[in-house]
A and B are shown apart, each in its own frame.
Chain A
Amino acid sequence: MRKRSKRERSGPPSAISLYVHVPFCRSKCPYCAFYSLSPTIGGISSFLQALEGEIELFKREGDLPRIRTAYIGGGTPSVLSLPDWKRLISILERAFTFLPRAEVTVEANPGSLTGEHLSLWKDWRVTRVSLGVQSLQDEDLLVAGRAHNRRQALDSMAKITGTGLSLSADLLFGLPGQNLRSWGETLREILSQGVDHVSIYQLTLEEGTPWGERPQNDLAEGYPFYRWAQYYLEKKGLLQYEIASFARPGRWCRHNVSYWTGGEFIGLGPSAWGYMNYERTRNIPDLAEYCLMVSRGNKPVCYSERLEGDRLASESAILALRTRWGIRLQDLRRDWGKDWPERMNAALEELPRDLFRSSPGRIALSRRGMRVGNSIWERLLP
């Protein structure tokens, strides 16, 4: 075997990542394909109970690893009430040991976020809040079916920075009727609110969503929006460190970076994904089923896959190429075999040079390359 697992290399991982999926939203956005349902008192209570049960199932397999990054996502974690949040925190604290400087992110929506939430999070160990701003134009928010408006978004942002938490804003482009001027305006205002981190993503039509089934008219072409963000955010000091992510130096999301660099993570909650020992698993995307399976002492997993050999190597390369740092040829050689740098070069050889950032010993995409990532990554599939 030319490849050694990470465990063999460095012993048991000292710390890994944790993802918790809170499957509740006040309202469902017409483009969203994530699993969520309306928050009911009974539903939330069952969820929390099952979550505790799921952790117990992990414990049976051995000591839980320590946590270096955690991400409480959803859904909308901020729809949980303060008592529910307290319960969630105590469940996690009882089970896991967090590293002293662990990065802990909570996802929140302007409509449901309160100052009490923020204080509670801050007092616990939350370091950053990822706020689903999407846009600061009321027309956009209306079109996107969001439950908040511009004023609430500005208000939430001010509260977050006021609490001293690091603020990340999610922005959506390519909405029907959106134009470059309004997009530019949103970016400008976001920056004036003191964000450390911005994630931008283009509206994609997913199967099983209302817009996926019935696409909207006059969807904006995404290119100019993306390009403008690349230009403007970098100019304002937010470096693009990944296809969809921009951050002030040192403020990139370590949790997400670990996804792109093959880090292991435990996924908890319905529909949550996890990745341990080269095995990727998905929990069942149904709260009732999830609770039932856990109560019967079964792992609530509905899908798992284990990648090996070239498929694993190519996935790793593709993920790494999402980031500013790209791939270190030395790592490629070490992890996947000495012919891999050669194979990568061959696969990318014909492409124009300006799609890549030149740095010795590394392959990374330039800004231009990031715009056409899909076509480049495809060449790296085995």
Chain B
Amino acid sequence: MKVPIERIRNFCIIAHVDHGKSTLADRLLEATTTVSAREMREQILDTLELERERGITIKLVPVQMKYRASDGQDYTLNLIDTPGHVDFTYEVSRSLAACEGALLIVDAAQGVEAQTVANAYLAVEQGLEIVPVINKIDLPSARPEQAAKEIEEVVGLDCSEVLLASAKEGTGITQILEAVIRKVPPPSGDRDSSLQALVFDSIYNNYRGVICYIRVANGTIRTGDTVTFMATRKSFQVEEIGVFGPDMRPVDELGPGEVGYLICNIKSVEEARVGDTVTSQRIPAKSPLPGYRKVKPVVFCGFYPIERDEYPQLRDALEKLQMNDAAIFFEPESSTALGFGFRCGFLGLLHMEIARERLNREFGVDLVATAPNVIYQIRTTAGEMIEAHRPSDFPEASQIEEVLEPFIKITSFVPAEYVGKVMQLCQDRRGFFLEMDYITPQRARVVYELPLAEFIIDFHDRLKSVTRGFGSIDYEHSGFRASNLVKVDILIGGDPVDAFCFVCHADRAYHRGQEVVRKLKEIIPRQLFEVSLQAAIGKRVIVRQNVKPLRKDVLAKCYGGDITRKRKLLEKQKEGKKRMKQIGRISLPQEAFLAFLKAGDEEEE
């Protein structure tokens, strides 16, 4: 049963991670009997296995709910769940564009956190009506008045009518639904004008091709229509449209303000870009809807198949993953140590890890990831500007005038007693102090400018650990700055090995070079010849060590009966070495090589 546009509400839930967003969504689905108690399971909107495991939301899942409000009228509520992690700000911004309102969830015990502010600002920027909700009031440590005060003072939202809820216990749910109807404006849109529908997300399905998540702004879309994607100018016949309830339910048409999906036999993500506007081929709209905030990947690393002949599978998997996650960037590259692979760009470290795990789980591709790095800008002595996506893009040291690296402004909310430790951490990571103030006598806001490269290593984990889990951060990019950076080459047997070389601050080059060489020495099996390991900046060797040659490796006796067995042992031994990475004259066991790359992630304590 369709409701008129005045009785549609499109809203999302924004919150700092762990403030109870997904649980609240679950309660809303229950309260509106969208999902029966029988079908209910935790985090029902988090469809990815990975999301459930990690308790986070990565992909948005829009869901339609029917609700009879206290005014006796039936309403259609479209809820768009959003990811909370800072890496996924892009996904948040896309879901916001499909809504008129947002529930801002704040944990009653923890109060306003860094991403509460960041996400609230994003929503304000999109012109959304924000409904503050204080969640987890059932906790013994809940301080709802304090949280409300923080929302007013820090975020700047009126909290005179703030809603109090416990998603866990199901209290305050009806009030939330009523507030959505009362406060969130209905969508506006003209049924009779030509079709404009925003593709705010898309997923790839093996059987049905690309499934676009759309929000209709004007006009209507029906099964059988021929539609055009305005950016790509490609046209398709609509095979199926429908809504999410939360599983896919076909409908005949979607009108203004409605949120649903569109399937039209699209085989390639290139033809249905997220952010594009769908219009009718017969009466096309004059202009597309405003696009999204374009995101640029900030963290790069190489993905290589473990089995070299799996390169095509990795490419296919990346292409499919990109259909699901438009923020992923990749281009082919090759490495002497790793063979053929891809340089991939991500929104952050978590994003990268998730991509890696999804490639493995959903596409069955075993891969090696090289240590992540940021983009560097290099001014050459010739006055040219080069963008380096990887250490090997660096020109020779003598040609470098200066190196610029991306900086971020990080805002951290921390309990007062940990301020010193957080500042120490930021200083250690080459941070510049910007400002600090106390939100309440117990909580401080610390703002630093920090090289992104220092942030992506393990900053978040370190911050969590020095604040015993109470610190939260949000960041924004603040441009490039010149730093005293050097590229350190690692040479094995005199040959530079690209997979091991890295860029770091000149002051740390020696220390890190030593670390890498020491670790390599541990993993390189003895060869028949002495192997030199060096770390060098340009031609200057800063660290040198040698792996002593193998001294004994004989098959003891071998008489008539042993010949076959010995040969088989040798063959097995050789087979084992096939799984080794050949680097120049050296063979490295695959496992050791992976262990090294992994250890690289955690480097620099």
On A, residues with C-beta under 8 Å from B are 19, 199, 201-202, 204, 222-223, 226-227, 243-244, 256, 259-260, 265, 267, 271-275, 280, 282, 305, 315, 318-319, 322, 350-352, 355, 370-378, 381
Contact = CB atoms under 8 A, between A and B. Distances in A.
28 contacts: A19-B561, A199-B557, A202-B554, A204-B556, A243-B554, A244-B554, A244-B556, A259-B560, A259-B563, A267-B560, A273-B563, A275-B563, A280-B564, A315-B567, A318-B570, A319-B558, A352-B529, A371-B551, A373-B554, A373-B555, A374-B555, A374-B573, A375-B527, A375-B528, A377-B570, A378-B570, A378-B574, A378-B577
A371 B570 contact: no
B570 A355 contact: no
B550 interface: yes
Nearest to B556: A201
Given A374-B570, A377-B570, A223 B560 contact: no
Interface in B521-574: 527-529, 549-561, 563-564, 567, 570-571, 573-574
A216 B554 CA distance: 21
A382 B552 CA distance: 23
A223 B551 contact: yes
B585 interface: yes
A201 B557 contact: yes
A355 B528 contact: yes
A240 B559 CA distance: 16
Contacts of A375: 527-528, 550, 553
A65 B120 CA distance: 95
A374 B566 CA distance: 10
Which secondary structure characterizes the binding site on chain A? mixed
A272 B557 CA distance: 16
Contacts of A243: 554-558
Name, among B551, B560, B570, the residue most crowded by chain A CB atoms within 10 Å (CB to CB): B560
Contacts of A305: 564
Contacts of B577: 378
Contacts of B550: 372, 375
Contacts of B528: 351-352, 355, 372, 375-376
A273 B552 contact: no
A144 to B, nearest CB: 15
B588 to A, nearest CB: 15
B563 A315 contact: yes
Contacts of B554: 202, 226, 243-244, 370-374
B571 to A, nearest CB: 6
A271 B551 CA distance: 34
Given A244-B556, A315-B567, A372-B554, A273 B529 contact: no
A372 B570 contact: no
Q: Closest 5 A-B residue pairs measured CB to CB?
A: A273-B561, A223-B552, A374-B553, A201-B556, A244-B557
Contacts of B559: 256, 259
Contacts of A260: 558
Nearest to A372: B553
B573 A319 contact: no
Nearest to B555: A374
A228 B75 CA distance: 92
A103 B366 CA distance: 58
Given A273-B560, A350-B529, 18 more contacts: A202-B556, A243-B554, A243-B555, A244-B558, A259-B558, A259-B563, A267-B561, A282-B561, A315-B563, A350-B585, A355-B528, A371-B551, A371-B552, A371-B554, A372-B528, A372-B553, A374-B554, A375-B527
Contacts of B556: 201-202, 204, 243-244
A231 B561 CA distance: 29
B584 to A, nearest CB: 10
Contacts of A202: 554, 556
Contacts of A274: 560
Contacts of B563: 259, 273, 275, 280, 315, 319
B253 to A, nearest CB: 68
Nearest to B585: A350
Contacts of B557: 199, 201, 243-244
B529 A351 contact: yes
Which secondary structure characterizes the binding site on chain B? loop
A273 B564 contact: yes
Contacts of B549: 352
B80 to A, nearest CB: 59
Interface in B15-47: none
A274 B561 CA distance: 8
Contacts of A267: 560-561
A274 B560 CA distance: 7
Nearest to B552: A223
Contacts of B564: 273, 280, 282, 305
Contacts of B560: 19, 259, 265, 267, 273-275
Interface in B28-76: none
B553 A373 contact: yes
B567 A322 contact: no
A366 to B, nearest CB: 12
Name, among B551, B554, B573, the residue most crowded by chain A CB atoms within 10 Å (CB to CB): B554
A199 B560 CA distance: 15
Contacts of A355: 528
A322 B562 CA distance: 13
A64 B602 CA distance: 70
Given A350-B585, A372-B553, A375-B528, A381 B570 contact: yes
A327 B474 CA distance: 70
B561 A222 contact: no
Nearest to B568: A305
A271 B561 contact: yes
Contact of B561 (A244, A272, A372, A377): A272
A226 B574 contact: no
A280 to B, nearest CB: 6
A226 B549 CA distance: 17
Nearest to A245: B557
Contacts of B570: 318, 374, 377-378, 381
A315 B554 CA distance: 16
Interface in B334-349: none
A319 to B, nearest CB: 7
Contacts of B529: 350-352
A204 B555 CA distance: 9
A374 B571 CA distance: 11
Contacts of A199: 557
Contacts of A370: 554
Contacts of A273: 560-561, 563-564
Contacts of A282: 561, 564
Interface in B287-304: none
Interface in B486-513: none
Nearest to A371: B552
B567 to A, nearest CB: 6
Contact of B574 (A201, A223, A275, A381): A381
Name, among B552, B564, B573, the residue most crowded by chain A CB atoms within 10 Å (CB to CB): B552
B574 A371 contact: no
Contacts of B585: 350
A342 B552 CA distance: 27
Contacts of A201: 556-557
B459 to A, nearest CB: 44
B560 to A, nearest CB: 5
B532 to A, nearest CB: 14
A371 B567 contact: no
B19 to A, nearest CB: 55
Contacts of B573: 374, 378
Nearest to B569: A374
A244 to B, nearest CB: 4
Contacts of B551: 223, 371-372
Nearest to A370: B554
Nearest to A377: B570
A199 B559 CA distance: 11
Nearest to A271: B561
A372 B552 contact: yes
A189 B457 CA distance: 64
